[in-house]
Amino acid sequence: MIDLKLVRNETDFVKEKLATRGVEAAEIDALLAADQKRRDLIVKSETMKASRNQVSDEISQLKRNKEDASDKITQMKQVSADIKALDEQLTEVADDVYDKASRLPNIPNDNVPVGLTEDGSVELRKWGEIPDFGFKPKSHWEIGEALGILDFERGAKVSGSRFLYYIGQGARLERALYNFFLDENEKAGFTEVLPPYMVNSASMFGTGQFPKFTEDVYSLKEADETLIPTAEVPLVNYYRDDVIDTDKLPVKFTALTPAFRSEAGSAGRDTRGLIRLHQFNKVEMVQFTKPEQSWDALEMMTNHAEDLLKKLGLAHHVITLTTSDMSFTAAMTHDLEVWIPYQDKYREISSCSNCTDFQARRSHIQYRDDNGKLQYVHTLNGSGLAVGRTVAAILENYQNEDGTVNIPDVLQPYMGGQTKIVKE
């Protein structure tokens, strides 16, 4: 959540920055108008409470003097009733201010490329050779189905479209990948966490999914529980309403969890294969840092995710997303996109974002600075990596003309020394 003081004191700056994210100036004006109404009501309420205290003192004085205080008592009752009505109005207005503020995205960093679409993202670097097969490469779903390791048909029968079964060597490849990712993340200083897979609304609000993106998730109808869209949610909320010991910062967590996405608004996109599923495994990285640490932490996390792809031998590039293409909570996002031969293009496999103090304000996560004053931490998140998309990249980039798939060297120890996936 944006600091409301910043919106009040630097309104033109906030309007200019958020305009690059598609926010109309009228939204900010409406927030400021509601905020001014709230502040006016606070002053009015405090004035009336001071008046009530004065009348109460006068009543006490009259009673001590054994004088008639009935008029003053009637006056105080009316003032008390007016205060109660005013405070109820104040609560409604304060809720309206909070709701309006909670729907504004984070302010983008000055180095983020400006754009109201995904066009205009800046390529930072590129790694690896695009494979030259000498034959027409197949899609990962064709390869997986022919090998008997991916079963989309039965996934659709049991659960619906965009679900699947991993079978045999396919399941083992998925397991090899997420164990490899977790081991590498631990070497990089991340503490492994096994979090809940369902969270409450306060947690979804804290990381920015609620209230704006409720249509993108799966929630239980009769309980305040939502299936997590990413491990970022339970990892960040681990410290919700907490003050982190300064000596612990930066805190680095990693977790393997399923991710559940309704994919609202994605009809017709990636309807086949592993790219866009309703349920998939993802290894997530989350950091809590002091504000002065967060930009270096973003580059570290991005470089680490890149190293995972390098160790797997997968060609990729790193881009910085435009102001409107990055997530609602992010101040800057670097995307890693891996080469997918069948599509003849790079596809996202990791997003690494610095959310600055945006999530910390919503989740009330703080630390004490050198002067002992409470400050908001900065939070960062990044995929390390999306497992299913990595499986897709391996199947396509390591495919052979005979339909078999070579296993990257770093994964072979996780697969019992197996070097190739063949039809069972």
**Residue closest to 162 by CA, chosen among 256, 284, 233, 267:** 267
261 is in an annotated binding site: yes
262 is in an annotated binding site: yes
139 is in an annotated binding site: no
327 is in an annotated binding site: no
58 is in an annotated binding site: no
Q: What single-letter amino acid sits at 123?
A: E
407 is in an annotated binding site: no
383 is in an annotated binding site: yes
Residue 35: half-sphere exposure toward Cβ, Cα within 13 Å: 18
Residues in the chain: 424
51 is in an annotated binding site: no
56 is in an annotated binding site: no
Token pair of 349 as six digits: 């496999």
Site of tokens 């293009």: 345
Known catalytic residues are 261, 276, 348, 351, 389
10 is in an annotated binding site: no
Whether residue 315 contacts residue 130, with contact meaning beta carbons closer than 8 Å, is answered with: yes
67 is in an annotated binding site: no
Annotated binding site for L-serine: 230-232, 261, 284, 381, 383
Annotated binding site: 230-232, 261-263, 284, 348-351, 381, 383
Annotated binding site for ATP: 261-263, 348-351
